[in-house]
Structure formats: C-alpha cells, structure tokens
Amino acid sequence: MKLSFLLTKIAALLAVSAKAVNGECADGSVCITGAPSTPDSSYCFLRDIDPNVGGLGDTYCGLYADSPENANLLVTVVTASFAFDPTGAFLGACLPDLVEALLITQYNINRQVCYDGKTEMAFFSTIESSSFPEDSTEYNVVDGVAKTDIGWDVPMCKSDECDATVLQQVLTATFSEVFALSTTWDPEDWKATSTVTPTAECVYNQIGAAPMQNPELYCTADAPTCSNIKLAEITLADDAAPFEIAICDDNECLASVGAIDVPGYFASGEIAQSYDPQVAWTYENLIDPFCLAYIADPFTLSQKYISAKISDKAFDKTKYCTVAAASARAGKCKATKAPKSTT
C-alpha cells in the first residue's frame, strides 16, 4: 500500500528526530523547563510535527515533567492515529480533549461537565485473551479465546469535529497502553478488538447507574421522562429465569453501544459515576445491586455470571410495577431484602 505524503513525512521525521544531540533537536529547539534536559527522539518527533507554542512538543515536555509514562502514552496515541487518519485531523480535533480525559481519569474521576458545545462521551471495548483455559471459572472461553466487555471510565468531552470512527480505532489500538497507566488491572494479556463511544448520558443515566441502582425508577412519581422505554432481560449466574429492568432508549442509545453488553456490565455493579475524586476501590464500597459479590471477584461478575438481552416486549407499567416483578428485580437479594415500593 502506498503511503500518503504525510505518512512518508512522519517516517522521515522519526529518522531525523532520533539524531537529537547536545540538548537540541535538528531545528535547535529544546524542551521546556522541568522536562528532560536533553530532548529525546519522542520530543523532537512531536516538535517536528507541531512546532507551535503549546503544541505537541511542548505538551510532551509538560507531561514528562510530572509523568514520563504519560508523555510516552501521548507519543503512542499520536503515532497510532496516523494509521487511521493520515491527514492528521485527529491531532487537532480529538487529541487535546482525549489527553485531558486520560489525565482526569487518573485521579479517579470518570465524569466531567462539557462546554463549548462538546458532548461528554463514555468508552467501552470488547477485549479478548488467549491466556485462559476452556474451563476457566472467570471468563467464558470459546475455542481458546476469552472475550469480555470493559468500560474505560474515561470522561472525554468530544467536539463535533472529532471523527468518532477514528477515535474508536485509536482507542482500540492503544487499549493496553492506556489501561496500564489508568488502572490497577494489568491488561498485558488482553487486546481490544473493537471500541464504541456512546454518550455518557446514554450509558450512565439511561442504561447504567440510574436504573440499575433503582430498578423501580420508572414506577416512581418522579420517574425521568423517556419516550422509548425498553426492557433488558437480566440473567444472574445459574438462574433459569431472567428478570426485567426498564431502561431508556431515547436518542438511539442502545444502537450506539453496538454489540457490547452495557446493561450486563452495569448490572454487575460497575456503576460508579462521579464528578469528584472517588475513594480507592475495595470490597467494602462495592456497589452490588443484586447481591452477587459472593460468586466471584467483582471484575469477573459481568464476564461469566451476568448477561443482559434486550427484549422485544413492550414496556407495560401495569405489569412492570407489581410486587411480584419488584421481588424478582431484587436478584439474589430477594431472600433478605423486602421488595421495594411500587407506588
């Protein structure tokens, strides 16, 4: 395949930038105070792409001053982006907001308020690994491959100019590198095969935290307005019969998450949503809406023991808001917790 002009230029810049000597790049530039005293090839590579004040080179140096790992991640993301966007549009339209989001999530904040017409997005990926046996007690393994869905907890404010397809491709390509920095979970043996970027409003308010924390939400007097309520059939562990949770499908929410089982993911207790720093995760502060923590490590609950399927049935409030239905929606808690009020 013939490389575009820009990709050819990038390849040339990599070769030239590697020759940074005596504290200077080829054009004589040096890193800003607080970063490496001697520019390395990564700085010079980014500086050559974007020599503007506050551009990629300066961003690299600023990140390096606090965290060389974050600076190196910037290089990884920039380099990966050219495979999907040879024009470089991603660097201006997406990268600044993505970098900000990745830095925010390292402080255990997974929501942010967006301005300037930008929309808060959430990231979810399907990942796979060949490191688990067929009889794994943690994951569903088919033909030697374990597959699961995972949320990034990265609150990006995306502009309309940022191409969603390119963003998804870059996130998929850099999944392991991002998770190695932003979480305590080791993604070494996992790779992402696809990524979706639905709105945070969709995954948190319509599918996730609100209905999963309060399955009786649409039976209350102050239920949120929704013109298209769908029923998610939740199956827990070895239960033969699923129960139904009402979720809102306004603005094509479910279509935006694709094949990823976001309802099942949130049913496992992955429903943290906060604009403020959150406390470190422990079993004691686990949100376990259906009392399943006894089955397995919480991370693996959604992988093997919980699933969701969107039903074709129409939402009928008179049937949904009954004592019997509420009791079923209590999940594994129903033996010790009284059904919630449906008034």
Q: What is the pLDDT of residue 279?
A: 61
Question: Is residue 250 pLDDT above 90, yes or no?
Answer: yes
DSSP 24: B
Three-class DSSP category at 295 = coil
Give the CA distances from residue 67 to residues 34, 71, 188, in Å, rounded to whole numbers and listed in that order. Answer: 11, 7, 20
pLDDT of residue 16: 39
Q: Which two tokens stand for residue 290?
A: 């259906």
Per-state percent for the chain, helix, strand, coil, to nearest 5: 40, 15, 50
Stretch (H or E) spanning 96:
helix 95-105
Which pLDDT tens digit goes with each residue over 14-35?
343 434 444 567 777 877 655 6
- Length of the chain as a residue count: 343
What is the spatial distance between Cα 114 and Cα 160, in angstroms, rounded to a whole number?
A: 13
Separation CA 209–CA 205 (nearest Å): 6
> Quick one: pLDDT at residue 14?
39
Question: For residue 158, what are the β-bridge partners?
Answer: 119
78 and 95 in contact (C-beta within 8 Å)?
yes
Q: pLDDT tens-digit profile of 150-204?
A: 888 889 999 999 999 999 999 999 998 888 776 666 777 899 999 999 999 999 9
Residue 229, strand partner residues: 248
The per-residue pLDDT for 189 is 86
Amino acid at 31: C
Adjacent-strand bridge partners of 127? 148, 192
pTM above 0.95, yes or no: no
